[in-house]
């Protein structure tokens, strides 16, 4: 087996052999792959330095080697807070109105990717497979090629790829797309994103398709696949049996006091449809007085990217909305929305998910949304809850037996909640079983094996 070199914006060192603890499923899967291949995980340390030196901090924890570098404050402002999160993130999530096109952002993005390539190059050995992750590093493969790296290199995009005409609004969009042809395999979460990428290549770059499914532009060709990421299902199911999960489940049921709980768990981000979710829930309260005092929404929304203005604005909006709704409908014994701005460990979340009759996952656009899969995995097979899922989450392509809704429609959200609350046990079990079959089959290990197998099968690099 070739050694695997994984590159991502941030690195999450493993915290225990074979266990996940507070790690996410992605970190667990990548750590397992790195242990199998004696590989390296390379990325930004999350720390800043006065002057970039290229110093690499190498550590080995539980069989995994991590290699991290510090960036300058200007790098973080322009590359991370700027181009990645104020230009690419909103645009790729269909929020062109929020995208900021500053030349300094783009320059910082290119500079940092050049620095990644410069410091990574000496660590790459002849037969290594290099796997680059996400929108922070579109051009890294090209910069590695420019430095003579001829290894097989793959790229996986965790967020959506936007439609052709939307991408045209990005300055230097053609340059960004061309950098993907430095890779050998490019992976997308959904068929929809893959189709959008193909459409762009055909319409804007004059590309064509080869007999083997390759996408060809000029003298370059790549293999592009849809490869939906999953969760560490076995580990998450096991987490529901932990002491922490059982305690959280008991406390939530006790706190509910006989009421049905609706759960939402999302990073505080405008792509998650939180304002629309609150308005849909308000619509439910308006149209159905019988459920007053019988149901409540628990929204867990840990803050993120607090330095970015648009994130400050959504937090203020949600504070206002939740206060208004609670002010209009609460009484001395019942509050319709419990809104919490903090995160919880995965084992506690597993217990909270299990206590909820409804999982409400309503992003306006999402590459995948693993909360939907975690909610399914946490359920009691004998008495499962109901997943309400946005049609615009990547997970909707797989979890087709969830109640699929348009998150922009308050009426659809309200009607779906009513349907879920009234759903007979037999239907809940059937819908859950269909969703769980997919969550078990196409888990995070399946995702990792599918992508690396495609990369290993490449016989000639794109170099």
**In angstroms, rounded to a whole number, what is the distance separating the alpha carbons of residues 252 and 459?**
54
* Catalytic site includes residue 93: no
Tokens of 331: 């009484």
**3-state class (DSSP) for residue 458:** coil
Q: What are phi and psi of 23, to 5 degrees?
A: -75, 150
Sequential DSSP letters for 364-379: SSBS--HHHHHHHHHS
Chain mean position to CA 85: 14
* Catalytic site includes residue 247: no
Pairing of the two strands 64-71 and 40-48? parallel
**Out of 70, 232, 366, 443, which one is annotated catalytic?**
366
- Give, rounded to a whole angstrom, the gap between the first and last alpha carbons of the chain: 21
**Out of 158, 173, 199, 415, which one is annotated catalytic?**
158
Give the CA count within 13 Å in the CB-facing half-sphere of 336: 23
**In angstroms, rounded to a whole number, what is the distance separating the alpha carbons of residues 376 and 237?**
10
**In angstroms, rounded to a whole number, what is the distance separating the alpha carbons of residues 17 and 7?**
21
- DSSP code of 125? -
CA-based Rg of the chain, rounded to a whole angstrom? 23
Sequential DSSP letters for 93-136: TT-GGG----HHHHHHHHHHHHHHHHHHGGG--TT-EEEEESGG
CB 390 within 8 A of CB 405: yes
Query: Which of 304, 435, 297 has the alpha carbon at shortest distance from 374?
Result: 435
Give the CA count within 13 Å in the CB-facing half-sphere of 446: 15
Long-range contacts of 211-219 (CB under 8 A, 24+ apart): 217/178, 217/181
Active site residues: 158, 366
């Amino acid at each position: 087996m070739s050694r695997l070199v994984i590159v991502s914006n941030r690195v999450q060192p493993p915290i225990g052999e074979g266990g996940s603890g507070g790690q996410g499923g992605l970190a667990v899967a990548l750590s397992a792959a790195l242990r199998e291949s004696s590989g390296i995980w390379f990325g930004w340390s999350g720390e800043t330095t006065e002057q970039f030196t290229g110093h690499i901090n190498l550590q080995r924890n539980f069989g995994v080697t991590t290699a991290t570098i510090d960036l300058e404050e200007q790098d973080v402002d322009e590359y991370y807070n700027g181009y990645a999160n104020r230009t690419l993130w909103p645009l790729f999530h269909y929020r062109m109105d929020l995208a900021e096109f500053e030349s300094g952002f783009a320059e910082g993005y290119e500079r940092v990717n050049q620095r990644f390539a410069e410091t990574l190059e000496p660590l790459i050995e002849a037969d290594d497979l290099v796997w680059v992750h996400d929108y922070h590093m579109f051009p890294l493969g090209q910069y590695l090629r420019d430095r003579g790296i001829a290894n097989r290199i793959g790229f996986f995009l965790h967020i959506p790829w936007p439609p052709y005409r939307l991408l045209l609004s990005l300055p230097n969009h053609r340059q960004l797309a061309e950098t993907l042809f430095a890779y050998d395999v490019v992976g997308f979460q959904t068929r929809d994103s893959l189709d959008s990428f193909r459409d762009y290549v055909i319409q804007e770059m004059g590309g064509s398709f080869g007999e083997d499914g390759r996408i060809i532009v000029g003298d370059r060709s790549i293999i592009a696949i849809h490869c939906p990421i999953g969760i560490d299902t076995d580990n998450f199911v096991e987490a529901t049996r932990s002491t922490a999960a059982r305690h959280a489940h008991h406390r939530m049921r006790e706190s509910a006091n006989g009421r049905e709980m609706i759960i939402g768990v999302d990073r505080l981000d405008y792509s998650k449809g939180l304002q629309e979710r609150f308005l849909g829930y308000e619509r439910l309260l308006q149209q159905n007085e019988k459920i007053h005092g019988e149901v409540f929404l628990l929204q867990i929304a840990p803050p993120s990217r607090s330095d970015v203005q648009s994130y400050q604005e959504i937090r203020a909006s949600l504070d206002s909305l939740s206060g208004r709704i609670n002010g209009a409908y609460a009484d001395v014994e019942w509050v319709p929305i419990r809104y919490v701005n903090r995160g919880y460990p995965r084992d506690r979340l597993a217990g909270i998910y299990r206590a909820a009759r409804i999982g409400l996952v309503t992003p306006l656009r999402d590459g995948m949304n693993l909360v939907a899969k975690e909610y399914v995995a946490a359920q009691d097979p004998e008495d499962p809850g109901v997943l309400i899922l946005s049609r615009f989450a990547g997970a909707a392509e797989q979890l087709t037996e969830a109640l699929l809704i348009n998150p922009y429609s308050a009426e659809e959200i309200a009607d779906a909640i009513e349907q879920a609350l009234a759903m007979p046990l037999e239907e809940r079990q059937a819908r859950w079983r269909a969703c769980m079959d997919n969550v078990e089959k196409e888990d995070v290990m399946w995702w990792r094996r599918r992508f690396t197998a495609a990369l290993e099968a490449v016989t000639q690099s794109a170099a």
